[in-house]
A and B are shown apart, each in its own frame.
Chain A
Amino acid sequence: MRTLTPALRGDVITGIAVTLVGAVYYVATFWIQETKNIVTPATFPAIVGIALLVLGLFLVGQALYRSQKIAEVVPSGTTSAGSASASGGADASEDVVDVEPAGVVLDAPEEPKSKQVVLQFALFFIYLGILIPVGFLLSTAAFLMTMTSIYAPHRWVRNLIFSVLFAVVIYVAFVYGLAVYLPVGILG
């Protein structure tokens, strides 16, 4: 087994995920009622599902093929392998001419730790979940307080003031200004 560079491993995972999505999407078209139109309601969804499936497989194949090439090239000591694997995003070999000169990438954004990302998403989902039952004001103030305090715990007074104020201002603006009634929840 050859080892994959991180970028290529990313492509393999992405490809597999896309393939699975395509497969599920394609299978879901079986439940679409058939009609006798020339192009049935299922035609487009089926094309899309299959296209995703194929593209996903292509991505996997491309990554494996490239890693093989790297494996062949590296021993011979050239540096091209480095550039090929430098970025998962730039592996558009079919368009080599278009690949921009390096150096313009002012700021490859720093990647956060996955654990942190999962935590932030979890908190966001909790907020989305309680928004209606608990009500906008309470859930928003609590959410903002949590988010800001994870980031800057020492400034909790500012966080608290901001959280409450923001929730109230937004609530007033939407409800009284726009007549969009945000959920009142347990305060109602």
Chain B
Amino acid sequence: MRSTAITGQGRATSASRRNRAVKPALKVGAVLASLALVATGCGNKAQAPGEGSDYPKGPVTVNVPSEPGSGWDTTARALVEALQKEEIVSSPLPVQNKPGGTGCMWMTSMMQQEKGKDDQIAITSLASQTMKARGLCEFGPEDTTLIATMYVEDFMVVSPDKGDIKSVEDLVKALKKDPQKVTVAASGDDTLPFALFAKEAGVDPADINFVNYEGGGEQTTAMLNGDAKVAIAGLSEFRSVLESGDIKPLVTFAKEPLQAPYDSVPTAADSGYDVTLGNWRGVYGPAEMPQEAVDYWAKTLEEVSETKTWKDTLDKNQWAPEFLTGDEAEKYAKDTAATVEEGVKETELGNSK
């Protein structure tokens, strides 16, 4: 009941990985940025949405379990920006970066040290589920007080315009012929949906030649310089090169066909490969968060999800709305967790010998 998960998306991982090389500076930045947000947050006067109770009494910290500039970070900042611009929350909402173990460090704190508190919320996504499935983190979003899912970024497989692979069929054919030759540029656990797809297509996921890149920019370069034959990532990672036509979409793992201009891109399910997985982002609270706070945030987030500011943000970033709270959010998280577990088993992501 208490959880609503916002759908986030897979970019968090890639972004947080991307930042590893440059992390130090970013980290400071994040901290500072979050702190600065505190300052701006104070100015808001709006009332809490129609609640009789006086929650929240003070500032509520919006925790980002990764560095500034990462996917989780931008989600948090965009969210806080919308909450304040639309004057939905009157309390200050400091954004604080708590990087560590791909979000695990902070999630563990939320399960233990912050247990029962009502002034902490945090951003999570599919990446945290992968961490748990791989046994790298004790907890996943489904164990916390999931408040809401906010949006999904759909995975998309793309190939360079000048390459040989022009369609899903080409891709499957090439994979069957010699998987070693079909280098797949992927960032972190973005490999999961592709592995499941390969399995559906009758190719052993263990044979797929995944090459690791830090996000869409690098993946694009790798495709353009010939290092990679195809790439998989969240749609927004490729948006600009898709528009320019240098890169062509092959297939998505979305539930339903995407919005224009990508409405003609087949979904995996429609093409006969039963894989549906999106990188969702959500908001969670500490374990045993007081019901009052959970209700408040579910309601507040629902309200913000309907505002123009938030919708614009989703639009700008090509994020698909996927707003769920309460039981629905929990079910959503459980379903994706199951898919992730299966994918992890198939790919044996890093755990194998």
Answer yes or no: A and B touching, Cβ < 8 Å: yes
Q: Tell me the A residues contacting B by CB distance below 8 Å.
A: 33-36, 41, 178-181
Map CB proximity to A onto B260-274 as digits: 1 under 8 Å, 0 otherwise: 000000000000000
Q: Is the CB of A180 within 8 A of B35?
A: yes
Please name the residue on chain A nearest to B209 by beta carbon.
A38
The contact sample of 23 A-B pairs, CB cut-off 8 A, is: A33-B350, A33-B351, A34-B353, A35-B350, A35-B351, A35-B352, A35-B353, A36-B206, A36-B352, A36-B353, A41-B350, A178-B32, A178-B35, A178-B36, A179-B32, A179-B35, A179-B36, A179-B38, A179-B39, A180-B31, A180-B32, A180-B35, A181-B35
How far is A179 from B37 in the complex, measured between Cα atoms in Å?
Answer: 9
Assembled-state Cα–Cα distance A164/B21 (Å): 39
Flag B35-62 by CB within 8 Å of A: 1 or 0 each. Answer: 1101100000000000000000000000
Going nearest first, the 4 A-B pairs with the smallest beta carbon separation are A179-B35, A34-B353, A35-B350, A36-B352
Total interface residues on B, using CB and 8 Å? 11
A residues near B351, Cβ cutoff 8 Å: 33, 35
- A156 and B206 CA atoms in complex are apart in Å by 71
- Residues of chain B within 8 A (CB-CB) of A34 are 353
Q: Which residues of A contact B38 (CB under 8 A)?
A: 179
- Report whether over half of chain A's contact residues are helix, strand or loop; otherwise say mixed: loop
- Other 4 A-B pairs with CB < 8 A, given A33-B351, A179-B39, A180-B31: A36-B352, A178-B32, A179-B38, A180-B35
Residues of B within 8 A of A179 (CB): 32, 35-36, 38-39
What is the distance, in angstroms, from B311's C-beta to the closest C-beta of chain A? 30
Chain B hits for A181, CB < 8 A: 35
Q: Which residue of B lies closest to A36 (CB)?
A: B352
A72 to B32, CA, bound (A): 62
What residue of chain A has the Cβ atom nearest to residue B31's Cβ? A180
Contacts of B36 in A (CB 8 A): 178-179
Contact with A along B141-159 (1 / 0, CB 8 A): 0000000000000000000
Interface code B309-353, partner A: CB below 8 Å = 1, 0 otherwise? 000000000000000000000000000000000000000001111
Min distance, Cβ A44 to any Cβ of chain B, angstroms = 14
Chain A residue numbers with a CB within 8 Å of B206 are 36
Roughly how many angstroms separate A178 CA and B35 CA in the complex, as a whole number? 8
Distance of A127 from chain B, by nearest CB (Å): 21
Shortest distance in angstroms between B80's beta carbon and chain A's nearest beta carbon?
Answer: 15
CB distance from B188 to the nearest CB of A (A): 14
Most chain B CB inside 10 Å of its own CB: which residue of A34, A35, A179: A179
**What is the bound-complex CA distance between A181 and B350, given in angstroms?**
39
Distance of A31 from chain B, by nearest CB (Å)? 14
Contacts of A35 in B (CB 8 A): 350-353
**Which residues of chain B (214-251) have a CB below 8 Å from chain A?**
none
A183 to chain B, nearest CB (A): 14
What chain B residues lie within 8 Å of A36 (beta carbons)? Answer: 206, 352-353
Bound-complex Cα distance A33 to B352 (A): 9
Cβ contacts under 8 Å, B39 to chain A: 179
Distance (whole angstroms) from the CB of B61 to the closest CB of chain A: 12
> Which residues, 251 to 301 on B, are CB-close (under 8 Å) to A?
none
**A145 CA to B38 CA in the complex, in Å?**
34
B15-38 Cβ-contact flags toward A at 8 Å (1 or 0): 000000000000000011001101
Shortest C-beta distance, A38 to chain B (Å), equals: 10
Within 8 Å CB of A180, what residues of B? 31-32, 35
Give complex CA distance A180, B33 in Å.
10
**For the complex, what is the distance from the CA of A178 to the CA of B34, rounded to whole Å?**
11
Cα(A35)–Cα(B35), bound, Å: 40
Rounded to whole Å, the gap between the CB of A3 and the closest CB of chain B is 45
Docked Cα-Cα span, A49 to B31, in Å, equals: 34
Q: How far is the CA of A178 from the CA of B36 in the complex (A)?
A: 7
Which partner residue on chain B sits nearest A179 by CB separation?
B35
Residue of A nearest to B38 (CB): A179
Complex Cα–Cα for A180 and B27 (A):
13
For residue A33, which residues in chain B have a CB less than 8 angstroms away from its CB? 350-351
Smallest CB separation, B144 vs chain A (Å): 26
Q: Which residue of A lies closest to B210 (CB)?
A: A37
